[in-house]
Structure 1
């Protein structure tokens, strides 16, 4: 089976690609010629997809190392032509990098949640740190309703579970 087809038939990988490039990007991948390198203009002409959408998709895929190009210079005009090919075989690395980044953010978030004390407005449901609450005399800065202490234990527990699951998936545990 073609590697692009394989990725697009996998619901999780398709969802990842969709999040990156949207409907038109998926459409381009489905119609991308299987062999050789292609200019963005050729891809737009062959697929019927708007040239700007083709370029946006290619640059987005390039940022994740899922596409690559090389340049050819026309000696007469000095114009550069970019010839593109897909590197969909790098999708596992791209997803891993994304998961590592999310894991790092979750770890920072749990530190924030554990190191702070929180207060909530029962009226507008905004949550404030102790520093903000004390600076406003424990009244909501939006509606002046007294703030109540907010227990974030369930959130911390959920964050811990998610972090552990991700660490196991990534082989960190």
Structure 2
């Protein structure tokens, strides 16, 4: 199992967590007590972090399967208490799944960019060849003339990103899959 300190020492994991839980969430993880279950109130007290921040961070981590809770009911009051634990063992599988999802999206976008010819209207934006060919290469929205749009820079960036993700995942493939 990956420890919190080890997890937070990895720059890629730290950047991933920062994007999702922010600096205050990272502060909570850095101060998270050792193994065990803790209520959100206990975590706020032990870490000195605002209770709302603790709750927001825990729910965000839960949505990404990086935290889980056990619910207990007080027999006298009927109050429910949620006892939270971190799932540091899930950090690599979760990030891998997200990378695979992003890879799929970027691969589809790369294929779309490769298979289409684009034209641009200065006022309305970018259109495909099919969008403007029937209208004599004028904008379908405002009827202004359109110019050819060279998407090679975007296509190159997409292919580089796809290749980098494949390298990270240790898989093979190309942007034209």
What TM-score does the superposition give when structure 1 sets the normalisation length?
A: 0.85
Q: Deviations over 1:47-92 (max 9, x none)?
A: 2222222111111111222111111111112221110111123211
User: Could you tell me how far apart the structure 2 residues matched to 1:142 and 1:31 are?
Assistant: 55
| Deviation (angstroms), 1:39 | 0.3
Q: Which residue number in structure 2 is paired with residue 29 of structure 1?
A: 29
**Does the 8 A contact of 2:131 with 2:140 survive in 1?**
no
Change (3 A) 1:53 1:156: same
| Deviation (angstroms), 1:93 | 1.0
Q: Which residue number in structure 2 is paired with residue 151 of structure 1?
A: 150
User: Could you tell me how far apart the structure 2 residues matched to 1:125 and 1:151 are?
Assistant: 17
Q: Which residue number in structure 1 is paired with residue 118 of structure 2?
A: 118
Q: Which residue number in structure 2 is paired with residue 9 of structure 1?
A: 9
User: Could you tell me how far apart the structure 2 residues matched to 1:112 and 1:118 are?
Assistant: 11
Where in structure 1 are there 5+ consecutive unaligned residues? none
SS of equivalent to 2:43: helix
Superposed CA RMSD in Å reads 2.3
| Deviation (angstroms), 1:43 | 1.1
User: Could you tell me how far apart the structure 2 residues matched to 1:117 and 1:47 are?
Assistant: 56
SS of equivalent to 2:84: strand
1:1-173 pair list within 5 angstroms: 3-121=3-121, 123=122, 126-134=125-133, 138-140=137-139, 145-173=144-172
User: Could you tell me how far apart the structure 2 residues matched to 1:72 and 1:6 are?
Assistant: 31
| Deviation (angstroms), 1:135 | 6.6
Which 10-residue stretch deviates more, 45-54 or 133-142? 133-142
Matched residue count: 171
What TM-score does the superposition give when structure 2 sets the normalisation length?
A: 0.84
Where in structure 2 are there 5+ consecutive unaligned residues? 173-177
Which 10-residue stretch deviates more, 3-12 or 32-41? 3-12
